[in-house]
Chains A and B, each alone.
Chain A
């Protein structure tokens, strides 16, 4: 069956460290993968999109990698800040489904 899995455990890190979040998928061939941030009671906010032919994408302190062989994406936040504390969601678009499929998200807490 098709699955998307993100770190099920909440991630607690110290301010200034790099946070690394994982998104694994099975039985999909996604055209691209996206990462969103979600704060409690709010809608997801788009962060980064990476396509199947791209290995890495960066935006300011954010970096995403995409390994279609491992069926995995890693999301990094460098020099993390308490304001980065939120739930981070990965979402796949598999063109034949023509819809976004979402992971459950990983809760990140950055401690001052």
Chain B
């Protein structure tokens, strides 16, 4: 069964450093998303991406964050200058053809900012 893959599974970084989280969504899906989840808290929407541009973003997704789909398969989330409060599990997801419907999630990248 096709799945969303994310790398790395764990990322440790120093505060102020840039990180890039990588995702390969399911190949025939059209919508791509990044979510994050701090341990014990709700899943939080960051951004959705469709047709090579941001479709929607949350207030969390400020100028420190950016997304890119550099080729036909990868979808990346960049955090330019990490803060302690960016520590969380970051999930990539994709959906076939309707925004917000039936999302397929990857296993996540656990980001720890020290």
Binding site for B on A (CB under 8 A): 32, 34, 36, 41-46, 49, 89, 91, 93, 97-105
Contact A44 B56 (CB under 8 A): no
Binding site for A on B (CB under 8 A): 4, 41-45, 48, 55-56, 58, 89, 91, 93, 99-108
Contact B56 A46 (CB under 8 A): no
Shortest Cβ distance from residue A31 to the other chain B in the assembled complex, whole angstroms: 9
Contact B101 A104 (CB under 8 A): no
24 residue pairs A–B, Cβ–Cβ below 8 Å: A32-B101, A34-B101, A36-B103, A41-B89, A42-B107, A42-B108, A43-B4, A43-B91, A43-B106, A44-B43, A44-B91, A44-B103, A45-B105, A46-B103, A49-B101, A49-B102, A91-B43, A98-B55, A98-B99, A99-B45, A99-B58, A100-B45, A102-B44, A105-B42
Instruction: Give the nearest-CB partner of A6 in chain B.
Output: B42
Shortest Cβ distance from residue B65 to the other chain A in the assembled complex, whole angstroms: 15
For A43, give its contact among B48, B55, B93, B102 (CB under 8 Å). B93
Given contacts A98-B48, A104-B42, contact A41 B108 (CB under 8 A): yes
A interface SS class: strand
Given contacts A98-B55, A98-B99, contact A46 B104 (CB under 8 A): yes
Task: List residues of chain B with CB within 8 A of the CB of A101.
Answer: 45
Q: Please report the C-alpha to C-alpha distance between residue A34 and residue B43 in the assembled complex, in whole angstroms.
A: 14
Shortest Cβ distance from residue B43 to the other chain A in the assembled complex, whole angstroms: 4
Q: Please report the C-alpha to C-alpha distance between residue A79 and residue B75 in the assembled complex, in whole angstroms.
A: 40
